[in-house]
Amino acid sequence: MINRRKFIRHSVLSTGAILLAQNLNARIPSTNSFPLVISTWAPNVKANKVAWEVLANGGRALDAIEKGVMVTEADPDDTSVGYGGLPDRDGNVTLDACIMDELGGCGSVMCIENIMHPVSVARLVMEKTPHVVLVGRGAFEFALKNGFKKENLLTASSEKFWKEWLKTSMYNPMDTMKHMKQKRAPGSIDNHDTIGMLAMDVNGNLSGACSTSGMAFKMKGRVGDSPIIGAGLFVDNEVGAATATGVGEEVIRMCGSHTVVEAMRYGKSPKEACQLAVERMYKLRKNNLNDMQIGFIAVNKSGEIGAFSLREGFNYCYRSGEGLDVVNDAEFLLKK
Ligand code: ASP
């Protein structure tokens, strides 16, 4: 069977031109041109495409990333984000998302249910409230008041997967972690998870967003890194932006995305900054990271991009001033 990741590398791509697979590594720019959009995980080329339309028309990075992330949130086949996301151990689809703009604005929703586009609710938290985070019922009611519809997000196939899991589950959080580790085992062909998206618009302004249904079969109320400003996402328009995917507990422990941006502030390239964050995590936590995956992507103010992960298997996709989609495997720390 063809490996999904390889298939995407060979077949993706874009509106106008196609980058041949053998050229991909050669084409990773050390200095990118902007506008640009970069997302975690290869299947998010479809989200980049929509974000790109906004950017190519001179739109704001904030609008681009919201529109882009909405594509993945509405995709029933993506079982890690939005509609079709795998539920918690009680069968509830609970979603986490956050957003940051070029002005230091940020908004987040945690554990929101029955709302298809948490990224847009997070944007409204940023723009219409004096707060940064709304959770659970409060986030849901805020969404309804702002015109969002209540929707059932548990698809038949996600429900089936959950019911299968219930048969063998000991209903124990440690087992859930084990399940997630297996899901993210190196070589997994279906390893796309949270969407983290970063964009730079024609004015050189940065924004970012993150959206996820989090860890499948998690404890009720569990929140990962994705909606936590500084963990799953951080944007500093003077320096750069970063976002994370993988086991959120580990990313929260070391304020992952903030760590990446601070490393860029002190001179590291985006790739070096992502690597520094992964190495720091590994140094602190190596006995607890068996089989886990954690990955970062980053962009700096010059439009350079980079990525790095703990293990093999993390990939990312971007589209830049050349108007081409590129999918690439991240470099990683733990070689076999
Ligand atoms: N980081 C997300 C979380 O822990 C999940 C993921 O990226 O796979 O909720």
CA 128 to ligand 1 centroid distance, Å: 27
Q: Whose CA is nearest to atom 6 of ligand 1?
A: 246
Predicted pLDDT of residue 33: 78
Strand-pair category, 233-236 with 240-246 = antiparallel
Q: Please list, in sequence order, all residues whose beta carbon lies within 8 angstroms of the beta carbon of residue 187, skipping any fewer than 6 positions away.
A: 312, 313
Q: Residue 200: inside a domain, yes or no?
A: yes
Interval between CA 232 and ligand 1 midpoint (Å)? 8
Across 30-34, 202-206, 237-241, 316-320, least confident range = 30-34
DSSP state of 229: B
Please indicate, yes or no, if residue 201 is contained in any of the structural domains.
yes
Compare 49 and 172 and report the one with higher pLDDT.
49
How many residues are recorded in the chain?
A: 336
Q: Report, in angstroms and rounded to the nearest whole number, the Rg of the chain calculated over CA atoms.
A: 18
117 assigned to some structural domain: yes
pLDDT value at 203 more than 90: yes
Among all chains, which residue has been given the structure tokens 């989200």?
47
The DSSP element (H or E) to which 6 belongs, if any, is helix 4-11
The residue range of the domain holding 305 is 4-8+22-332
CB 104 within 8 A of CB 97: no
- Predicted confidence at residue 72, as pLDDT, reads 97
Tokens of 237: 């328009």
pLDDT digits (tens, 9 = 90+) for 16-73: 333 433 334 434 444 467 899 999 999 999 999 999 999 999 999 999 999 999 999 9
Going by pLDDT thresholds of 50, 70 and 90, the confidence category of residue 300 is very high
CATH, residue 322? 3.60.20.30
Cα 287 to averaged position of ligand 1 atoms, centre (Å): 20
Ligand 1: which atom is nearest the Cα of residue 193? 8
For residue 295 and ligand 1, the question of a CB distance below 6 A is answered with no
Confidence band for 180, pLDDT divided at 50, 70 and 90: low
14, part of any domain: no
* 3-class DSSP assignment, residue 66: helix
Strand, coil or helix: what is 334?
coil
Cα–Cα distance measured from residue 16 to residue 20, given in angstroms and rounded to the nearest whole number: 13
**pLDDT, tens digit, 9 for 90 and up, residues 320-329:** 877 789 999 9
45 part of a folded domain = yes
Structural domain includes residue 304: yes
Alpha helices (H) in 146-253, listed in sequence order: 156-168, 173-183, 248-253
How many domains does the chain contain in total? 1
CB 275 within 8 A of CB 260: no
Identify the active-site residue in 79, 194, 212, 243: 194
Instruction: Judge if the beta carbon of residue 243 lies within 6 A of ligand 1.
Output: no
Would you state the pLDDT for residue 323? Answer: 78
Residue 112 in this model has a pLDDT that exceeds 70: yes
Can 168 be counted among the known catalytic residues? no
- Is 15 within the bounds of a domain? no
